[in-house]
Amino acid sequence: MEILYLVVALAVCITVHEAAHAWVAYKLGDPTAKMEGRVSLNPMKHLDVLGTIMIFIAHFGWGKPVPFNYNNLKHPRRDAALISIAGPITNLLTAFVIAIMFKYLPLPGLIFEILRAVYSLSLILFLFNLLPIAPLDGSKLLGLVIPLSKEDWYQRFLSQGPIYLILLIIADRLIAEVAGFSFFGTYLQFGYDLITTGIMIVT
């Protein structure tokens, strides 16, 4: 049953995340994602086969990146940041809505377990995607503070980021095996606990 919960959570979390990217891009004047059918809550439009498999193998994964064209944006850096942050914010809102359901609705066991999986994965995706490393969404937020004079460096950073991210994840796993400490694990756990406490206070 745990696999079922994870599969449903993965489909829900990645779908709302990527659909939010696509919808905001469209609203900001870029129809690229909409023309590819990405402004949709159909999971098949957003799930990536390899990214899904990696969830089960390496406990991290990804959906199909939502394409957008900088040339269609009136304010490229600002709008790129808004498009990027839309995904994580939607995951955070999803977790918040589920927390309200937990508090005020009598949920059957199966529904409760599925929603709990969606809640957990929503917060993990929110936190992980805020890291300022390409291709994570946080890398686009850097564009708000990087001077235009450093544009060439920034574009190289965005293009080479995936390699660095993979190397960092591998290094983190090795350090965890040897020293018993994981930067990513500690960051995600601390953020998860902090947000959950905040949600409990608000609701």
Q: Which residue in 144, 118, 133 sits closest to 187, CA to CA?
A: 133
Most distant pair of Cα atoms in the chain: their distance: 56
Beta bridge partners of 63: 47
CB 113 within 8 A of CB 5: yes
Is residue 18 flagged as an active site residue? yes
Packing angle, helices 2-27 and 49-58, rounded to 10? 140
Using CA atoms, how far residue 97 sits from 39, 64, 127, 188, in Å, is 21, 25, 17, 20
What count of other Cβ atoms lies within 10 Å of the Cβ of residue 16?
A: 20
The catalytic residue among 2, 18, 113, 177 is 18
Token pair in block for residue 45: 């439009």
What are phi and psi for residue 40, nearest 5 degrees? Answer: -155, 150
3-state secondary structure of 135: coil
Helix (H, G, I), strand (E, B) or coil at 66: coil
Q: Which of the residues are catalytic? A: 18
